Structure 1
Amino acid sequence: MTIFHKLVSRFLISPEKKNEIGFCTDLDDILRDDGKVTLKIDGNKITLDLSNLHERRYAACLSTSLRYPQYDIDNLLMAKFVRKGDRILDGGANIGLTALHFLHFGASFVECVEALPWLAERIREIDDIRISVTEAALSKRSDGFVDIAISKTHNQGSTYDSSVIAKFSHIFGDDIKFLTTPTITIDSLTSGPFDIWKLDVEGAEIDVVNGALQSLKDCPPRVIFTEFWDERVHKFASVVSASHPVAYRAGITKDNYQLELLDMKTFEKNSEVFFPISPTYVFLREDCKEI
């Protein structure tokens, strides 16, 4: 057993409460913050960089039964909506961890679109034929280029959206570094159509769906998962309303740690009963609205 695993196991369960399940964030001060750890998900290996706080937390969750709402929300949504054999579009795929979870829940194929070369390479290192990697930024047109601001504090949050840069300026620093990367549309992806779209594209969501209008018309996915930090969620909902008229805000309840889907207004009125996570939304086709 590695030092990392020993450390997590030691602090997982308190002697007084044998059945208590803790939160991985409770271990932030004691988890290793350097080196790497390689873990398995259904036989696939993924290497996590412990210098990144969120990857340390992922490692803790994968190694134990610790809870992490920001991480668990994706798995709860997958458990509910993924069907065996589904083809998935993972937009903003990061290191490929989400792709592995999609496969775990029954997906047969995941198209990972990731703009940053060093993250795309980490996905390729997983080396599973069910995972394809497209190294580009999802946007409203193909064969173009965008300048992506690179997050300096961790490997998440990089964006070409100016409002996101302004809102989360602390992760970019005063001297913002940019990377020019090619763009691609959902409509132009030859591996489609897809049953589920997961769009974690840091402010580019409106551009992305405007580059997917033909797909939304001809072969709309059953479900779209996405995040929004501002009122643009309403514009997104308007763009996809013809194909996906049903919209929910997703959360994990504090009392029993269960996934709950509510309409946006109801969620806002009851937000105190949910764990704080990135605002997560689910858009469904009319024929899939029964949840």
Structure 2
Amino acid sequence: MVEGVTDAGVHRVALRVSPRLAGANPGLVKISPRWAATVQVRRQGVQLELDLRDNLQAVLYYAGRYEPAVRRFLRTELRRGDVVLDVGANIGIHALAAAQRLKELGGGRVIAFEPAADSVAKLEAGVARNDVRLEVVPMALGERRELASLKADSRYDEADAGVRSLYGDGEVVQEVPVVRLDDWAREHALDRLDVVKLDIEGAEIAALTGATRTLKRLQPRALLVEDKRSESSARLHAVLDECGYRPTGEVLDRNAVFRPELRE
């Protein structure tokens, strides 16, 4: 078994792949190869380098997919010329797929925010390996500009990049720069934004609070935001409501879809 892969982590990620998979085979990755922790594979149409110590990447390796409903949504939602923002891009599973889709459609732009250095390295390697246009921003989004501690989750191995958080309770993995999207958009003259995917392990409200001007100004037609329906869910919906967004009722792999409110 690859060191660092945990049953709890596999079960958590497997729920996002398929609830039936999680219930039927929570010990899926116990057959991990002993001879390599890193493998290069093609998954969901994308060439990736996967670290099998990471539960998300291990399940993607063995199950062959991760958040398939999100992938289908992006494939059908994207249009030629779109500007896509992936916040919490991890190793680029969705960002690379979006960039590939826009390439098929004739062009567009994908901007991926990811603060973890090891994930950024894999994401940048994925850009070269898949020959797509994708801008990697090695920063976190929040409600203020600062330097913050990216922490591991104490329930999982430090190599488990998918559960690292600014609010984690484990060891500090890395100090990362945090920026408000409103500031970044102004500094980089962002004048179009069509689709946003936001999944940053509990920091969604802070990121959206720092993005309200941009959302109101550019009015992306679709937001896909992780919503765990916890006590913070009402606050999340309130921030988006202030920006003129309403939930559509679609929930894709625990990510809620929001669209601008139609006005008379």
- For 2:165 and 2:144, locate their aligned partners in 1 and report how far apart those are by CA, in whole Å: 16
- For 2:201 and 2:84, locate their aligned partners in 1 and report how far apart those are by CA, in whole Å: 19
Q: Is the 8 A contact 2:87 2:114 kept in 1?
A: yes
Cα distance, 1:216–1:222 mapped onto 2, change above 3 Å: same
Q: Is the 8 A contact 2:39 2:50 kept in 1?
A: yes
Cα distance, 1:60–1:120 mapped onto 2, change above 3 Å: same
The answer as to 2:198 corresponding to 1:202 is no
Gaps of 5+ in 2: 1-19
Cα shift at 1:217: 1.8
Q: Is the 8 A contact 1:89 1:110 kept in 2?
A: yes
The answer as to 2:51 corresponding to 1:49 is yes
Cα shift at 1:114: 0.7
What does residue 228 of structure 1 align with? 227
Q: Aligned with 1:241: secondary structure? A: helix
Cα shift at 1:23: 4.7
> When the two structures are superposed, what TM-score results if normalisation uses the length of structure 2?
0.73
Cα shift at 1:103: 2.3
What does residue 88 of structure 1 align with? 84
- For 2:96 and 2:175, locate their aligned partners in 1 and report how far apart those are by CA, in whole Å: 28
Cα shift at 1:198: 0.8
Q: Encode CA deviations 1:198-225: one digit per residue, 9 max, x unaligned.
A: 1111111111111112112211211111
Which residue among 177, 182, 186 is the counterpart of 2:177? 182
Cα shift at 1:135: 0.9
Q: Encode CA deviations 1:177-235: one digit per residue, 9 max, x unaligned.
A: 35321111212132733211111111111111111121122112111111133132221
Cα shift at 1:80: 3.8
Q: Encode CA deviations 1:225-278: one digit per residue, 9 max, x unaligned.
A: 111331322212212214443204544xxxxxxx6xxxxxxxxxxxxxxxxx5x
Alignment of 1:2-151 (within 5 A): 23=21, 26=25, 27-32=28-33, 34-40=36-42, 45-62=47-64, 71-106=67-102, 108-126=108-126, 127=128, 128=131, 130-142=133-145, 144-151=146-153
**When you count helix as a share of all residues, which structure comes out higher?**
2
Gaps of 5+ in 1: 1-21, 63-67, 252-258, 260-276
Q: Bigger shift: 117-126 or 229-238?
A: 229-238
| Aligned-residue RMSD, C-alpha | 2.8
Cα distance, 1:40–1:29 mapped onto 2, change above 3 Å: closer
Q: Is the 8 A contact 2:102 2:109 kept in 1?
A: no
- For 2:221 and 2:208, locate their aligned partners in 1 and report how far apart those are by CA, in whole Å: 15
- For 2:140 and 2:150, locate their aligned partners in 1 and report how far apart those are by CA, in whole Å: 9
Alignment: residue pair count: 224
- For 2:52 and 2:173, locate their aligned partners in 1 and report how far apart those are by CA, in whole Å: 24
Q: Aligned with 2:84: secondary structure? A: strand
> When the two structures are superposed, what TM-score results if normalisation uses the length of structure 1?
0.67
Sequence identity percentage: 23
Q: Encode CA deviations 1:68-114: one digit per residue, 9 max, x unaligned.
A: 5x521321322342223321111011111111121233372211111
Name the amino acid aligned to 1:158.
Answer: R
What does residue 5 of structure 2 align with? none
Pick the structure with greater CA Rg. 1
Cα shift at 1:124: 1.1
Cα distance, 1:90–1:118 mapped onto 2, change above 3 Å: same
- For 1:93 and 1:36, locate their aligned partners in 2 and report how far apart those are by CA, in whole Å: 19
